[in-house]
Structure 1
Amino acid sequence: MTIIIVGAGMAGATLALAISSLSHGKIPIALVETLSPDNTSHPGFDARTIALTQGACQQLTDLGIWPTLVDCATAITHIQVSDRGHAGLVNLSAEDYGIAALGQVVELPEMGKRLFSLLAQAPCVSLFCPAKVVEVTRTEKTARVTLDNGQQLTGKLLVAADGSGSLLGRACHIQWQQQDYQQIAVVANIMTEKKPVGWAFERFTCSGPLALLPMSQQRCSLVWCHNERDREQVGNWSDSRFLSELQQAFGWRLGKILQVGKRYSHPLHLLTASRHISHRVALVGNAAQTLHPIAAQGFNLALRDVIALSNSIVQAVQAGVDPGEYRVLSEYESGRRHDQQATIKATDGLIRLFANNDFPLVIGRNLSLLAMAQIPCMRHAFIRQTFKNAIRR
């Protein structure tokens, strides 16, 4: 009943740990990964951070994963959403909802090391790293992969967790639809005069959305979107020019922006798989859908997929059913469809609304922010959708 997972980034690693935890180590898992998290070029554990909703933290707690991560996380206790140059502004506070935090910020390199440490201890998890899949063969009853060292792995189910445009998914004839946002995301860590002390900021500027997440040591994680046509110009800015432009766009909420670390840029698009299952294959994480990062929903959605798939696998095995059987995979896919579509629609709509500078839309979105600031039920609806499972009222 071996489950083969290709890709040990965030989604693949947590899936392996979830199956091991839920099955009490009774289901063999073969986890294949090209790079270790110590490799600075690992796309799943690079210099970025992720914002985990409080609901996601609870799910990781239930799996026994969160206690290993908690001391390297920074709590988000307040969020400010604003539109530069306009009156719309809303402040959200965890205290208003009777919870300790709205979410947690974790640095990916540190998270990668800790997840790999847990994988090394997890019963029935065999890690093949560094290793690369060079051939995939599927029969009626099994799925088999051949690694670049000639080793073959055979299992009942093959999970593609190898990122956007998954090579494994392509080998299994999965196709993706892509919507280009004509934007790039500039990612960096910055240091500010005032400590962020739990404050996260979503600010919509003329160049594109801008997000700051609180980190330790008086730092913030920055994601700043720009038009694709400005990529070369922005990339050529000196650090002093970058800090000056960022200060003008963000304002002085955290005082003077003192320092910026190494900058990275990524093209932005919405990538969705035409289907999330195939014969003895399931997709999770960015292999299934890659979202715009500004709303910080990518891994939180992926984790809900991971929990659902791991439950489907474990329940099938416990019932004596083949976990790679089409009926099992079809129920997983259909059960996740509504949440996936709702999250994609909300994230895509938010980006398109706030990236548009047409006057009627600017007026409309600012009226919405002003109304949210004044009407508690609107704030609650926003929080409930954005921070799924964090608040129950």
Structure 2
Amino acid sequence: MKIFDVIISGGAMAGATLALALDARFGGKLRIAVVESCDISAQVHPGFDARSIALSDGTVQILREYRLWDAIQPYATPISHIHVSDRGHAGMTDIKAEPLGLSALGYVVELAEVGQVYHRLLQERPAISLFCPASIRTVERSETEVRISLEDETTLYGKLLIAADGNTSTCCQQLGISSEIHDFEQVAVIANVEISQPHQGRAFERFTPTGPLALLPMSRQRMSMVWCVRPESLEGITGLDDNEFLLALQQAFGWRLGKMKRVGSRVAYPLKLSYRSRAVSHRFAIIGNAAQTLHPIAGQGFNLGIRDIATLVDEVRHHPEDVGNYAALHAFQQRREPDRQKTMEMTSTLVHIFSNEWFPAVVGRNLGLMAIDNLSVLRKPLLTRTLGQVSR
């Protein structure tokens, strides 16, 4: 019998961050189990094709609180400037770090590199037990505890189970907590691109007739690309060879980064808003992509999940004798709902506005971009959400 205070399903970015944050906040006195199905110990060099995510300034501040940022920063590329534009039209806006008194608007990190950092930190914390690779078979709950059975017949007991295992969460399926799904009717094509000119920390969000195209700065003269297209256009993009793809990308994006020199392997996945209206249940909480999976426009997904983590840690800290009690989980749900709703509404609205080629919509959004660039009353809400400086 293995007894813990908290059991976390999922040991990737969200689950590992939560485990390390709880350990830091409780001074190593909380017994934590992390169950991860993939072997995260494999020493795989990230290489050219490593996947990346953007961390907002607000997320970096949270990571600093948990003493995690110093370990991550050597692998992070700062974003000093965000340029937003509508292809073929005059509307555009720029957000720069320096006028805001910031050293960076955010940072881009490669998941493979941060994964190795987190794996090392998890192993160094004596209060954290890592079960990996391991899969959850059954979940049972009583009034005072949660009982987890793994596929290898190991049984774990805890006071609180937390799902951090993505939008197809095994735990949520076990407990019958379904998600609402909205299909954006777009597919994201992801790849890394090598460019001919220094990116100088610039990030780009360019709206095209097929959907948004984002390029984020990475190390070694690379950009992390997310190109959203309609499903009927996907074959015309994925079927191209590398040179043909680079030409199509150059045409869609332009020459602000010079010539697109090289593209890595391309991966495509359908874009859907997945949202669970309940983020808690009896001795159970849901965070990150298991709670909500957003469209990648504006890069809000992981940053919203980090705010889930920070709020959950805040609430359970008030109840060290029983971290899974109802009062802590109810407070977590109540505090998170406004931020979740506003962030989902913002990203979904941006998708619909900037994927609409109806002429009045095109005129309206371009006037909006120009107004944001010149009117602080419109610019401030965009900055607040982009920088992750929102109440939680």
- TM-score normalized by structure 1? 0.95
Work out whether residues 41 and 119 of structure 2, in 8 Å CA contact, stay in contact via their aligned partners in 1.
no
The correspondence for 2:300, drawn from 292, 297, 302, is: 297
1:47 is paired with a residue whose SS is coil
Separation (CA, whole Å) in 1 of partners of 2:261 and 2:155: 52
2:318 is paired with a residue whose SS is helix
What is aligned with 1:378? 378
The structural deviation recorded for 1:124 is 0.6
Query: How many residues are paired up?
Result: 384
Separation (CA, whole Å) in 1 of partners of 2:104 and 2:390: 9
What is aligned with 1:169? 172
What is aligned with 1:93? 96
Separation (CA, whole Å) in 2 of partners of 1:5 and 1:34: 12
Separation (CA, whole Å) in 2 of partners of 1:38 and 1:169: 26
What is aligned with 1:264? 267
What is aligned with 1:74? 77
Separation (CA, whole Å) in 2 of partners of 1:28 and 1:80: 45
The structural deviation recorded for 1:371 is 1.2
1:8 pairs with 2:20: no
The structural deviation recorded for 1:376 is 3.5
Separation (CA, whole Å) in 1 of partners of 2:390 and 2:117: 24
Identity of aligned residues (%): 46
The structural deviation recorded for 1:37 is 2.9
Separation (CA, whole Å) in 1 of partners of 2:269 and 2:40: 20
Flag the 1:183–1:39 CA change in 2: closer, same or farther, 3 A. Answer: farther
1:127 pairs with 2:130: yes
The structural deviation recorded for 1:388 is 2.1
Separation (CA, whole Å) in 1 of partners of 2:306 and 2:372: 28
The structural deviation recorded for 1:327 is 2.3
Cα offsets for 1:132-169 (capped at 9, x unmatched) = 10111111111011111111000001101110121111
2:220 is paired with a residue whose SS is coil
* Unaligned segments of structure 1, at least 5 residues: none
The structural deviation recorded for 1:234 is 1.9
2:40 is paired with a residue whose SS is coil
The structural deviation recorded for 1:294 is 2.0
What is aligned with 1:355? 355
What is aligned with 1:118? 121
The structural deviation recorded for 1:370 is 1.0
Work out whether residues 37 and 109 of structure 1, in 8 Å CA contact, stay in contact via their aligned partners in 2.
no
The structural deviation recorded for 1:314 is 2.0
Work out whether residues 203 and 217 of structure 2, in 8 Å CA contact, stay in contact via their aligned partners in 1.
yes
The structural deviation recorded for 1:123 is 3.3
What is aligned with 1:50? 53
Work out whether residues 93 and 373 of structure 2, in 8 Å CA contact, stay in contact via their aligned partners in 1.
yes
The structural deviation recorded for 1:378 is 2.7
Separation (CA, whole Å) in 2 of partners of 1:282 and 1:230: 39
AA in 1 matched with 2:369: L
1:55 is paired with a residue whose SS is helix
Separation (CA, whole Å) in 2 of partners of 1:111 and 1:390: 25
The correspondence for 1:222, drawn from 221, 225, 230, is: 225
Separation (CA, whole Å) in 2 of partners of 1:377 and 1:94: 18
Work out whether residues 54 and 390 of structure 1, in 8 Å CA contact, stay in contact via their aligned partners in 2.
no
Work out whether residues 165 and 176 of structure 1, in 8 Å CA contact, stay in contact via their aligned partners in 2.
no
Separation (CA, whole Å) in 2 of partners of 1:36 and 1:361: 47
What is aligned with 1:389? 389
Separation (CA, whole Å) in 2 of partners of 1:340 and 1:354: 21
Flag the 1:138–1:390 CA change in 2: closer, same or farther, 3 A. Answer: closer
Separation (CA, whole Å) in 1 of partners of 2:381 and 2:236: 39
Separation (CA, whole Å) in 2 of partners of 1:109 and 1:249: 29
AA in 1 matched with 2:328: V
Work out whether residues 192 and 223 of structure 2, in 8 Å CA contact, stay in contact via their aligned partners in 1.
yes
The structural deviation recorded for 1:380 is 2.8
Cα offsets for 1:167-189 (capped at 9, x unmatched) = 11110110100000111100000
AA in 2 matched with 1:206: P
What is aligned with 1:250? 253
Cα offsets for 1:110-129 (capped at 9, x unmatched) = 11111111111123100000
Separation (CA, whole Å) in 2 of partners of 1:314 and 1:376: 38
2:303 is paired with a residue whose SS is helix
What is aligned with 1:340? 340
* Unaligned segments of structure 2, at least 5 residues: none
The correspondence for 2:197, drawn from 194, 197, 201, is: 194
The correspondence for 1:107, drawn from 77, 97, 110, is: 110
What is aligned with 1:83? 86
The structural deviation recorded for 1:375 is 2.3
2:63 is paired with a residue whose SS is helix
The structural deviation recorded for 1:328 is 1.8
What is aligned with 1:286? 289
Separation (CA, whole Å) in 2 of partners of 1:105 and 1:190: 14
AA in 2 matched with 1:388: G
Separation (CA, whole Å) in 1 of partners of 2:168 and 2:150: 20
Flag the 1:371–1:249 CA change in 2: closer, same or farther, 3 A. Answer: same
2:319 is paired with a residue whose SS is helix
Flag the 1:269–1:390 CA change in 2: closer, same or farther, 3 A. Answer: closer
AA in 1 matched with 2:261: L
Separation (CA, whole Å) in 2 of partners of 1:283 and 1:16: 14
The structural deviation recorded for 1:38 is 5.1
Separation (CA, whole Å) in 2 of partners of 1:63 and 1:23: 11
- TM-score normalized by structure 2? 0.95
